[in-house]
Chain A
């Protein structure tokens, strides 16, 4: 099986073959700015859910906690997929990391406190933190600080839709939907629930 790294690396080569492309992944020639369309996102999420299911610890209650705002949407979708794979019950929570960011002073008035919604006790649970893009690692650092202020989870794991290079902290994801290997290229995730369309864009 070809790993996701290889598939995405090929996007930046001339579209010579194209016959064995992953369904949903656009070729560089047709629309170089769209990395995944709706079908592509659905497929990546299914693979991510399967990966999470395979990596779940035995006998420990599970909770998926999404980082606002798109991680929240992804966590909901992943819970549906995991339930389809026979994993339940799973708690769902949403984490607002605004108050924990290390760049609050630079953000200025744009910072918006949207609130954390976690109505269960984190203690003793395995928390799977969900975000759309893992980039510098700073959001995840903030999220972990916020989580440990809320309780003492048995473990925290990280699941992301896209992993792109540019880490500034020693943080890696446990479950990755798609690895995007080009450094310095911005990745934007758009989701129907928050943006009206399912699409991952680059550039």
Chain B
């Protein structure tokens, strides 16, 4: 399926064609690995149609009025939490913030008890970030609430993947046939995994680039290309997504020296000049300026970094809306 086939028609229920008859049924968003192309495109279409709200003088619509979202964060995050909070508020939901550092988790409460207790207050959606892969999936099994994975260990970060793919689609007009290069600590990156699943599903070719210690060969079995030569990979790249190198990783055995990393895998203006002139430069943030990305490239004309942040709002609004609609009591069609 191509993005072009998702063109809107003013069709109602009576004339719903194949593109319009799709119904979103998931009440959780746990990862992009098992989403179909149709589901991905449906999220994008919903996000496009929600963007208008952010351009108004009253930046709010009452779709989720009376619903409560909980940011359940067991790992630090500022922008993801802010983005989810603002997205929920634009749809008029109420938001509760939970962070593990200031909670009874420090007193030994289990994830299950934490969820059960907050759920008993009458909330509707958990937005979960957890250092353990699969934690949101576990909650989804025993909770009646919607669960959105906001990053679980090294496993997935589905909304970031959606944001990146949505931004590529917006700038390039398509996903199918594009060469997308993802550079950095692939082994430990949930953003790389979510991007890979979604991009591959929509027909892009993904190349992972980084030092041998940080780019496992195992990804080849899943259909990714592996490279340790950024200049070679950039030759036919339409998009390059520079992942953040985490400070704690820089001192580990797996990591070359910072100088060596910058020389081999940092995206500089000189390196970019040898790539396609319309190459899209992405970064999920926060940037280590001068490490994975040179400042003039981050702020240059090829960069879509701030656009990714703006799109994050629309994507998260769409996801919040869709999972909550799927979790509504009654699945009957709208009355005439």
Q: Chain A: residues with CB nearer than 8 A to chain B?
A: 68-70, 72-73, 96, 98-101, 103-117, 133, 135, 145-146, 149-151, 186, 188, 190, 193-196
Contacts and interface: CB of A to CB of B under 8 A. Distances in A.
Interface residues of B, number: 39
A109 B23 contact: yes
Contacts of A149: 56, 58, 60-61
Contacts of A112: 20
Nearest to A71: B10
7 contacts: A99-B61, A99-B91, A106-B328, A113-B46, A186-B336, A190-B14, A196-B15
Given A109-B23, A190-B14, 10 more contacts: A99-B61, A104-B63, A106-B332, A108-B330, A110-B334, A111-B325, A113-B46, A113-B49, A149-B56, A188-B336
A62 B323 CA distance: 39
Contacts of B48: 115
A111 B62 CA distance: 14
Nearest to A101: B334
Contacts of B331: 108-110
Contacts of A109: 23-25, 322, 325-326, 328, 331
B196 interface: no
A69 B20 CA distance: 13
Nearest to B61: A99
Contacts of B328: 104-109
Interface of B: 8-12, 14-15, 20, 23-25, 46, 48-50, 52-53, 56-58, 60-63, 91, 318, 321-322, 325-326, 328-336
User: Which of B60, B318, B334 is most buried by chain A, counting CB atoms within 10 A of its CB?
Assistant: B334
Contact of B326 (A108, A151, A188): A108
A162 to B, nearest CB: 12
A195 B15 contact: yes
Contacts of B334: 101, 103, 107, 110-111
Contacts of A100: 61-63
Nearest to B333: A110
Contacts of A106: 328-330, 332
A73 B336 contact: no
Contact of A115 (B12, B52, B322): B52
B321 to A, nearest CB: 7
A195 B9 CA distance: 11
Contacts of B336: 133, 135, 186, 188
A108 B12 contact: no
Contact of B12 (A101, A117, A145, A194): A194
Nearest to B25: A109
B226 to A, nearest CB: 39
A150 B59 CA distance: 9
A146 B62 CA distance: 9
Contact of A193 (B10, B50, B56, B62): B10
Contacts of B25: 109
Nearest to A151: B57
Nearest to B27: A109
A147 B333 CA distance: 25
Contact of B332 (A101, A108, A133, A150): A108
A105 B49 contact: no
